[in-house]
Amino acid sequence: MESVQHRQAGTDKRYDVFHTGCPAREVVDHVTSRWGVWVLISLRNNDLRFFELRESIQGISEKMLAQTLRALVQDGLVWREVEPTTPPQVTYGLTGFGRDVGEPLTELFDRITQQLSPRSAG
């Protein structure tokens, strides 16, 4: 039986996700990075502009958001649309691949927040 970590969906090409040079590993690293998870969860229901994303993810700097979005766009998880206005307005949303990857992250997030006992305000 073939293990999942060695098969690329829909092709005969194989990935070794335990190898540092594996492209699939790079995507996993981007998704599970400190900010990648939050970007995917923030975009789960709505397309957002850059500053809306920044406001929705407390604690992220503009620089880190830009780097995270750049990586997720390159990986095909997030699309980017620039409106030719002055200044340009940039909107981000999830691709089909991004929705597929983000769904289990959203389920994990929902399970954690539903099961987490409220902390005392002290």
Task: Domain ranges for the chain, please list them.
Answer: 12-106
Per residue in 35-73, pLDDT (tens digit) is 999 999 999 999 999 999 999 999 999 999 999 999 999
The CATH fold assigned to 12-106 is Arc Repressor Mutant, subunit A (1.10.10)
Residues 6+ apart with CB under 8 A from 14: 6, 7, 8
The number of angstroms, rounded, from the C-alpha of 104 to the middle of its chain's C-alpha atoms is 11
| Whole-angstrom distance, CA of residue 122 vs CA of residue 115 | 20
Residue 13 has a pLDDT of: 66
The interaxial angle of helices 62-74 and 23-31, nearest 10 deg, is 140
* pTM for this model (two decimals): 0.78
